[in-house]
Every structure is written in structure tokens, then in C-alpha cells.
Amino acid sequence: MSLLRRGRSAVLDREPETSADLGPDPARADGDPAAQPAAGPARGRWRHGWRRALLAGAAVLALAGLAAGAWQVLFVSALLDVRAVQVQGTRALTPDRVRQAAAVPTGVPLARTDTRSAAGRVLALPGVADVDVSRRFPHTVTIRVTERVPIAVLSSTSGQRRLLDAQATVWAPPGPVPADLPVLVDRDGTLDAGAVATAVRVSTSLPPALQARVRALEPVSPGSVLLVLRDRRVVVWGGADQTAAKVRVATALLGATRARYVDVSAPAAPVTRSQVPDGLVPS
């Protein structure tokens, strides 16, 4: 009898385990919230993504509006228009002539000013070596001009007078010819580029003290130049070689003698004469 009770007791003790294996408790499956799918976090992420998209779209629209407004102010409206054209760096040219050549329109938006075209028109003026055209907000265009520096006046038999710089560039003077410049004489109108280049090299190699005494330079051949001083003495210089020796010999002879003609084209064997040969000095 006791064995029978013990057996029933063991069976009853195992019954809960057997019922748990049959499947989920119907009451818990229907009523326990822990058994429901976690839908809350997913819905929150979806709402947060839409919020970020809306904010990004609003930012893009705001930036587009700002860009459109800036474009309107810079390129369309008269808030930042051209009202003044300033010219800097002129010497022989006048600021008015530079403004006229630049032809920068006033009353139009400053940002639309074609500075490259304006610079090209100014660069075409005689004697202009370089030019820079820039915008200065809110209303100014600035033109900075670099003019060529003349070292001589190129004079022809026809009476035409042009200026010459250290790069052998020739241009018509925009105003009066400087009175202190030496004259490069072209007697028969056949002065070639080689002779001009030699004269330029000789002129620029002279020391300031001697250069200031030169009234005219006359090419006698493509490689030889003579100098006419302001007291009408003549120095046959030759080419642009042996400059230091020629300067030393010419300075000594002009100071120690009364010679009117000094030839230092071969400085080791100079020649002097008391008179200048007829026809050698240009009138």
C-alpha cells in the first residue's frame, strides 16, 4: 500500500513538468505583455528619421534662399554697383586717358565688371608695360598702371620722335618728350633692330655720371655706337663689350685732354683728335 502511494506521489510530482512541455500557457500568451513583440523602439526610430529628413530639407531650402539672395545682390541689384574708377601709377599718361581706355561702365553691378577686358584695353596704350584691374567692394574699380621707363628718344629724319626703353621697346610718347633723355639718331631711316639693341646695351651700361653727359647716341654699324656729349665732344664707344675698361679710359682722356674726339672702341689703344671729323656729329 505504501509502495502504491509512493508511486502516485512520484507521478503527481512530474505532472507540472509534463504540462510545461505541451506548449505555452494560453493565459500568458494572450494576456502577458512580455510576450508581445517590441514595436515601440522601431516606431521611435522611424519618427526620428523623418524628423531628421525634414530638418535637412529645411536647411537646404534656407541655403538655396540665401544663395539666391546673394546672387541677386551681387549680379542684379544696384546695391553693389560701380560708382568710381580709381587710377594709380601713371606718370606720362593721365588718369582720364586710362579711364577712357579701360571703358569700365558705371552703374552696373561691380561683380559683373569684366576686369580682364578692361586691363587689355589699358595695356594697349603706348608706354604701358603692365596693368592690374581689380574690384574693391562696395563700389570701386582700381586700375594700377606700370609705365615703361624711357632711356632715349628715337629720332628719325622725318622728325618723328618715339621713346625707347631698356628692353628696346619703342612707343609713341603720350605727351611731351622728356628734355633730359639722350637722342638715338636714325639719320637715313634704316636703323635696324641690331643697331638699336647695341645702342640700348651701351646706354644702360654707362655709369650715371657719364650717362648724364650724353646728348645723343649714333649707331655707326650694327655693333658700334658713338656718343655725342652735351659739350659736343664725341666718344667712339664701339660695342657693349669691355665696358669697365672703356669707362676708365674715356673718363681719363676727357678729363686730362682737350681732345674733341676720343675713340675707346679698343680701350688698350685709344685714339684722340683735337677736332671732330666733319659730318660725324648730328645737327
- pLDDT, one tens digit per residue, over 9-59 is 444 444 444 444 444 444 444 445 444 555 556 666 666 666 676 666 666
Whole domain around residue 155: which residue ranges?
Answer: 150-273
Based on the domain organization, do 168 and 132 belong to the same domain?
A: no
Q: Is residue 179 part of a domain?
A: yes
Q: Give one DSSP letter per residue of 183-218, joined into a string.
A: EEEESSS---HHHHHHHHHHHHHS-HHHHTTEEEEE
* Cα(169)–Cα(127) distance, integer angstroms: 9
- Of 95, 128, 147, the domain-final residue: 147
Q: Is residue 32 part of a domain?
A: no
Instruction: Output Rg (C-alpha) for the chain, integer angstroms.
Output: 48
Based on the domain organization, do 143 and 191 belong to the same domain?
A: no
Q: Is residue 6 part of a domain?
A: no
* Cα(219)–Cα(237) distance, integer angstroms: 10
The total number of structural domains that make up the chain: 2
Based on the domain organization, do 198 and 250 belong to the same domain?
A: yes
* Percent share of the chain, pLDDT over 70: 71
**CA 16 and chain centroid, separation:** 95
Residue appearing with cell numbers 606718370? 91
Based on the domain organization, do 222 and 141 belong to the same domain?
A: no
Q: What pLDDT is attached to residue 169?
A: 93
The SS3 of residue 159 is coil
User: Which grid coordinates belong to 126?
Assistant: 603706348
* Cα(151)–Cα(73) distance, integer angstroms: 49
Q: Is residue 4 part of a domain?
A: no
The CATH number given to whatever domain includes residue 120 is 3.10.20.310
For 51-105, write each residue's pLDDT tens digit. Answer: 676 666 666 655 655 554 444 444 445 567 899 999 999 999 999 999 999 999 9
The SS3 of residue 145 is strand
| Beta carbons of 202 and 216 less than 8 angstroms apart | no
Based on the domain organization, do 171 and 140 belong to the same domain?
A: no
Helix (H) or strand (E) run with residue 87 in it: strand 84-88
Q: What pLDDT is attached to residue 257?
A: 93
Burial class (CB in 10 A: 0-12, 13-18, 19+), 166: middle
Q: Name the residue type at position 223.
A: G
Q: What pLDDT is attached to residue 251?
A: 95
Based on the domain organization, do 208 and 94 belong to the same domain?
A: no
pTM for the model: 0.67
Residue appearing with cell numbers 684722340? 272
